[in-house]
Structures are given as C-alpha cells and as structure tokens.
Chains A and B, each alone.
Chain A
Amino acid sequence: MKQPHSFAELFYTPKPAVWVLWMRVVLFGFFAWRVMSYDFAIFGLAPESVLSVYPAMLHYDVELNYFLGVPWVVDMATFHWIHWWLPLPNVSQLEHIQWAVCGICLIVVAGGRGPYHLFSFMAIAGVTYLWGFLWRSGVIDSMFPQLAMAWVYSLSRMVEPANLLRKDSYRRLTQHRSEFGALYSSVLIIWIGYYFTSGINKWSDLPLPDWFNYRFSHVHTFYVQAVDIAGFDPLIPKFLAPFFQFPLLDFIFPALIYISHCLIPLMYFRRHLIPVFMVFYLWFHVLTMGVYTLFAEIIAIWFLFIPIQTAFEPLRIQSAVSMRWLSHWCWLAPVEWIARQSDQASMIIDVNKQQSYPLFSTRSVLRLLWVNPLGWPLLALASCLYYTPLLCALWIRPEKPKR
C-alpha cells in the first residue's frame, strides 16, 4: 500500500473510533477538572474595577501585547455581553454556574455531544463564560487551543462512538474511518499551531542575541534565595535543582526550545515524531517548574496523542524475530513472558514467518507493554527513556510500510 505523503492524504489517514472516545474523555474531562480546580465564586466579591482589567490593559506597562483586547471585543467573545444588561452574578450564582458547567462537561464525557451537539456547545459556552472572568481580571489563561479543539469536535459530523443515544455505537471501537482521521488531524493542526505561532513569535519578539540570553539558572537561583532568605511564596521543587547548576545550558536550552517550536509542523507530516515531541515537551514543561512556571493544562492536553488504540489491537509476534531479540536484549524476555502469561484477552498472536508483516522495530518493547494493563504503569517510564530526542535521533526510524 502506498504511504500517504501529501497534506490532504495525511489529513484523511484513518483513525480508530476509540481515539475519538479517548479525545472526548480527555478533553472534556480536562474541562471539568479545570473548572472545579478554581473557586470562581470569588468574582462575586469583586468590584467593577477589578473586573475591568481587560487584556488591553495587560502588558500595558511593558509591551502592549493585546492592545486590541478592549472590553467590548472580549465581552463579545466570552458571552459577557449579557452583562451589558444583566448584573454580574453573585457568589452563590457563580457557584451554581460552576457546578452546572462541570456537570455538562461530564455529560459530554459520558455520553457524547448529545442531540444537535447541544451538550458540547453548552459545555464550550459555559467554559468560555467562566474563563471570561479571568480574561477580564488580568489573566491570559491557557485555554485557547483546548477550546478550539472542542469547537472542531463539536462541529464535526462524524458518527460518534460510544454515544448515549445510540446503543450500536459502542461496538467496533477499533474500526478505522477517515472521518475520525480528519478529526485527529484537525486537533493535531490546532496543537501544532499553538507551538508554531509561539516559535514565529520568537523571531519577531526577540532580537537574535536574546535567543541566547534567557538565564533561567539566574531566575531559579533568585527564587530559591527569595524563599530561603525572605520567606517568599514561590514553590520551587527541590528535585529540579541539579538541572539549574550549569549556566552554560542557559545559552543552549532556550534556543533549542525555540527551534523545536519552529520545527513542530514536522509532526503533521511525520507522525512517528509525535511521541518524540511529546516527551521533549513534557520534560520541558516539568523543568519550567524550576523557574516558577507550570504548564499543567498543556501537559494534560499532550495526553490526547497517546496512541490509545494500541491497547485494543492484537500484537502480532513473529517468533523468529522474537528469538533474535531475546538473544540481543535479554531484559526483554521477562517482559514478553509476563505479557504472554497474563494475556487473557488473546491479544498476542503468533504469526507465520511466511506472512509479510513488518519486522519488529525497537518500539516492540512499548507494544508489549501496551498489550496488557499490567504493563501500562511501566509504559510511561519506558516512553520517557525511549523517546528522548537524543536516542530518537540515533535509533528511531519511520515504520516500514506494510507490503
């Protein structure tokens, strides 16, 4: 079979229904989690002046990044235009709205978009409305790509898997369809756009010398001292301290991040790079905790791209190759043995040597772990070790096409 290579062909590369289910659970579960992680009721205590710090006011002092974020624009985008006529909600009303939005998100998680996709549109409207309070009180919170993904999902016309209203939609979760692939590609494009625009911003926002001038070890040291000496409030995890002991890295690491932002569109055309970028950015986002910055919402969304369908697909093992592997990688033997012994669902299939399945690549370790729930806890560790960019550059190649 010819491998898809053009933008359009890749766009419709079939994906299994189970991924759409996974996306729904992760994305709307994330919304529910995020909504309940804030106490929105405090905005019921806020005077008008506190809720007047619109994005146009932010960075007002420094660089005017959002000088067109004037009140009426933000109000239009966040359904806050209703407050041109209605009074702002009080504490009790905000608590009720918060629970209602969480509830509607959980309904989408459990049962899909609902009739006329009403549930998902209501969830998006609710989340946007609540975040409107943040955007008009000085916070540019990172909910933009997530909301865009939710819009694309809600607007799609696919037959939804695991839909509460359709009993037959629970079957054939491993069925591959191009419309699911289109949704996957759309979500991927939005995610790439988030990083790529950040990459282009680095060219326009920073003079070239500043690419090598972000001294994060200074920032780390400053915050550590501020906590130790002045009892200041930042939470800087101690286990990250060793990573900030090499000032030389200050000149390399930020530039590496900027370059990775610019290279991330490769992820669309070479899908095997998704886990590489995922592991790279997970490391990066964990490291930024050392400079008083945590990207919890970004970390959560990376999990959308976990190949969850792998757990539902049988693993075909070619005995001869497997034996060769055992001789080279002795530590694989117990993993395979455990996987075979606990394979109650017959997910591991021995195939005939004559059949033309692709030869095993190094990533069969991960496949073996995917097969059985017992291996899932080890999967994260193995992925981190395996998809580290340096190792990837040496070992990982695109999967060979099936003949």
Chain B
Amino acid sequence: MKAKRHDNLVAFFSKIALANRMTFLDDWHSITQQPTPSPSILRVYSICWLLCAAFCMISLQVKFLYPFEKAQPLYEFPDGAMYLWSVIWAAMAVLASQQSGFVKKAIHHLIRADWRWWLGFFLITLAYAQVDDSKLMRSFIFLPFKATGLVWMTVLLWPVICKGTYAAKVISVYIVLAGTAYSVPGIFFPPFYRGIEGFIDVPDWRKGDDMVLWGYQLVRDDGARIWLGRDVIAPAYKLFEYHSAMLALAYWQTPAGDHYTQRFKHNAEQNMKELSEFYIKVYQRQWTLLKQGKYSGERYLGKWACPIHNRTRPMPYGAFAPEHIAAIDYVSEYYPAHDRARPTRRVLMHYSLKTHRARVTFPRDYPIDFWFKAP
C-alpha cells in the first residue's frame, strides 16, 4: 500500500521529537534517532523566517493605519530598525533554503535543545534588546527567539497532535496556539494571552515631592467638587485610565493631510461629550448604591462581590445627588512640595450639563506626551 505523505511527515516529526526525549507517543522507543536535520526542517525554518520577514514588513504598514506623527511626535516609530530586521530575516530564510553550513548546524543544535546554543541565541538577542529603548521594538527583537522556540515546540508536539491521546491532543493544540499568540507582537485573541508586561518605572512626578493628580471630578451646582472613583463606572473603569484613548480616537477620526488641529479639537470635544454623558448616566444609575457607601459592583452580591483591579475607597457621594450635578471636569491638580495646602487646579476638559457641551483646553506648557499618559 502506498504510504501517504501525511504519514511520512508524522514519522519525520516523531524522529525529531524523539531526539529531544519528549513525546506523548507510546511507541517512541521503537523510533530510531535521526542524526542530522533533513532538508525538510530547513524548508520549514525557511518558510517561517520568510513569514516573519513578511510580518515585519506588514507591521510597517501599521504606521499608515495609526497616525503616529500626529499623535506623538516624541515617539518615533523605528522604521529603519524594522526594515533591518526584515532584511535579516529574509537573509536567514535564503540561507536556510540554500542549506548553509552554519544555519544547518545551528538548527541541528537548536532542534535538539542543546542548551548552549539556546543560551547563546538568548544572550545575543538580549544584548541587542538592550540597545533599543522602545518596548515595541524589543518585542520585535525577541521575535526570532520566540518564533524559533515556537517552531521547536510545534515540531515536538506534532506527533502528539497527529497520533497522541485525545487529552494530549487538546493541550498540545492549546500550547501551539497560545505559543503563536505569545510570539506574534501585538496580537490579541482571547482566551490566548501574551502575559503580563514588564513593569515600567513610574513617571518622575511620582518620585519627587511635588505631586500631580489627574482625574475626573463631579462639580455640584454650588461649586463643590468630588473625585469620581473608578468603582463608579466599573466594569468600564479603564476608560478613566485611558482618558487619552478618547483623545486618540479623535486623532483616529481626523483624516490625515487635513488641517488637523481644528478638526482634532472638534472631534475630541465630540468624543469627550459622549464620554461625559455616559459617565453621568452611569452615575445616575449607581447613585442609590453609592450614597449607601457601596460600590457599583456590589449591586447583586453586596460586600461579597469580587473587587476590581484598582480598588477605590468609598467616597461621600451621598452629598452629590445627580440632580445637583452641574458639570463633570477632567482636571490636573498640582501640589507643590513647599505648600501642599494650596494646590493649582487646571481644568483640561469641562462638560456642562446645562449646555450639553464639552470644552477641551490644551495648556501650552504641558508636554505633548502629557495628553497620552495614563493618569
């Protein structure tokens, strides 16, 4: 009977898996060890690297989707480095397809999980990553390392996916998909997750004695103010943090090439109006709970409710009945170290419930990245 191509592939990957002493197959003892990688695996690598090169090139197009220059002049998208990586990857692909001696040797050792080669690969990647100070760029620098690991893992698990037990197949497919979702920078596809990012050091204004606070405040008709806590609008609480996202959305909606300052201001005010109206509606809905000192998440389970990621303390919202709210402001309050009692408040966005209009101001002395930093 003529052997199917599929069976050959399975046998091939089984041999590779055997070389690593890691397989779910019952009959792994019966498979002989393969001494050197065959041209097929080089072809696999070649295709993968070509795909990575293509991915880098496609990622460059993101620049044209997102108006970076307008959004953040201080942040330069690293075009040159990205092109360089595309070239490096394409060259690797060509070398692999030509079965270069070094590439063959490297793959031979990497596939067999030779820890010295993996460590070397890791250290070279790590050293290069230290050069660039952009997290996004570093994730691209780590892409070859992660992608090679993914290929290695897929090769290992391929026999299991084809011939393993059902339970092993399920988790193997999960590992390959999750590994793919992890390796590709910027991907978001639940339930696969890229893991928690590295903590970034806090901005300077948190370290010094001077203190700046940003956030939303409700303004009563007699002028009294109260901070609007995240718990009030849970589970959409990150909208507070990404106040800037709404401004970014305004950029998004502003066509490139236009005289964008005017258009951006108009779009930003429109977005902030919709956002503020949403906050007010939510506040009206939750106020009966809030005045009792409860959080909005405690509507059904009371004190047994699961707390949110950033917990806020109960605020005296009882004195701020919705019918007495005159405006909602997005403010920055500056507390100098020498005189904490007299803060300077700046209203960056003011939405009046009487006129139903939002007014966005851009203080000239604020750095441009202020508008895009989370408070």
Contacts and interface: CB of A to CB of B under 8 A. Distances in A.
Interface of A: 6-8, 11, 33-34, 36-43, 45-47, 49-50, 52-53, 55-58, 60-69, 73-74, 77-78, 91, 128, 131, 133-135, 137-148, 151-152, 155-158, 179, 182-183, 185-186, 189-190, 193-208, 210, 213-215, 218-219, 222, 225-227, 229-235, 254, 289, 292-297, 300
Contacts of B202: 214-215, 218-219, 222
B236 A137 contact: yes
Given A137-B236, A138-B245, A293-B309, A204 B142 contact: yes
Contacts of B129: 203-204, 207
Given A155-B170, A222-B206, A128 B190 contact: yes
A203 B123 CA distance: 11
B185 to A, nearest CB: 8
A220 to B, nearest CB: 10
A210 B201 contact: yes
17 contacts: A11-B171, A33-B306, A39-B234, A42-B235, A57-B249, A63-B134, A63-B135, A65-B197, A69-B189, A139-B238, A140-B238, A190-B178, A193-B178, A201-B197, A203-B142, A215-B202, A218-B207
Interface of B: 21-24, 62, 66, 71-72, 126, 129-130, 133-136, 138-139, 141-142, 146, 165-168, 170-171, 174-175, 178, 182, 184-202, 206-207, 211, 213, 215, 227, 229-231, 233-239, 241-242, 244-246, 248-249, 252, 271, 274-275, 277-278, 281-282, 285-286, 296-297, 299-301, 304-313, 315, 333, 335, 340, 343, 369, 371-374
Contact of B133 (A42, A143, A158, A207): A207
Given A67-B186, A296-B307, A179 B167 contact: yes
B340 A229 contact: yes
B373 A60 contact: no
A189 to B, nearest CB: 6
A18 B372 CA distance: 50
A206 to B, nearest CB: 4
B307 A61 contact: no
A45 B285 CA distance: 10
Name A's interface SS: helix
Contacts of B174: 148, 151-152, 186, 189-190
Nearest to A208: B130
Contacts of B190: 77-78, 128, 131, 135, 143-144, 147
A148 B278 contact: no
Contact of A47 (B138, B166, B245, B278): B278
A57 B207 contact: no
Given A137-B238, A292-B310, A186 B171 contact: yes
Contacts of B333: 230
Given A39-B299, A207-B133, A219-B206, A233 B249 contact: no
- For the complex of A and B, list the 6 residue pairs with the smallest distance between their C-beta atoms, beginning with the closest: A69-B188, A197-B195, A61-B372, A205-B198, A144-B193, A147-B191
A338 B306 CA distance: 35
Given A42-B233, A61-B369, A200-B146, 15 more contacts: A6-B22, A8-B23, A57-B245, A60-B66, A62-B372, A65-B186, A144-B191, A148-B174, A182-B165, A182-B167, A186-B167, A197-B195, A203-B129, A215-B202, A232-B215
A144 B138 CA distance: 24
B246 A49 contact: yes
A294 B308 contact: yes
Contacts of B235: 38-40, 42, 133-134, 139, 141
Interface core residue of A143, A193, A215 (most chain B CB under 10 Å): A193
A204 B139 contact: yes
Nearest to A42: B282
Given A39-B297, A45-B281, A64-B186, A145 B213 contact: no
A145 B374 CA distance: 26
A73 B184 CA distance: 14
Contacts of A205: 135, 138-139, 197-198
Contacts of A50: 236, 239, 274-275, 278
Given A152-B171, A198-B195, A230 B343 contact: yes
B306 A233 contact: no
Contact of A156 (B167, B175, B207, B239): B167
Given A37-B301, A40-B235, A138-B241, A222 B312 contact: no
A110 B106 CA distance: 53
B245 A73 contact: no
A199 to B, nearest CB: 8
Given A66-B188, A152-B171, A235 B246 contact: no
Contacts of A39: 234-235, 285-286, 296-297, 299-300
A58 B175 CA distance: 26
B278 A144 contact: no
A210 B136 contact: no
Interface core residue of B167, B202, B333 (most chain A CB under 10 Å): B167
A122 B369 CA distance: 44
A183 B167 contact: yes
Given A39-B297, A155-B170, A222 B211 contact: yes
Contacts of A295: 309
Interface core residue of A55, A139, A185, A215 (most chain B CB under 10 Å): A139
Interface core residue of A155, A200, A204, A229 (most chain B CB under 10 Å): A204
A206 B142 CA distance: 12
B22 A226 contact: no
A151 B245 CA distance: 32
Contacts of A141: 235, 309
Contacts of A38: 234-235, 297
A153 B244 CA distance: 39
A231 B133 contact: no
B236 to A, nearest CB: 5
A176 to B, nearest CB: 15
Contact of B301 (A36, A58, A77): A36
Contacts of B233: 42
Contacts of A58: 238, 242, 245
Contacts of A200: 142, 146, 182, 195
B236 A139 contact: yes
